[in-house]
Amino acid sequence: MTIRDHRGKVTAAINLSGPDAVMDPEGTTEKFVALLHRATSRMSHAVPTVFAQSMMGTVQTA
Alpha helices in the chain (DSSP H): 20-23, 28-56
CA distance 55 to 10: 20
- Residue 54: the pLDDT is 63
- pLDDT tens sequence for the chain (62 residues): 888 887 788 888 888 888 988 888 898 889 999 999 998 888 888 766 665 566 566 656 55
CA dihedral 52, 56, 58, 59 (to 10 degrees): 40
- Residue 31: the pLDDT is 92
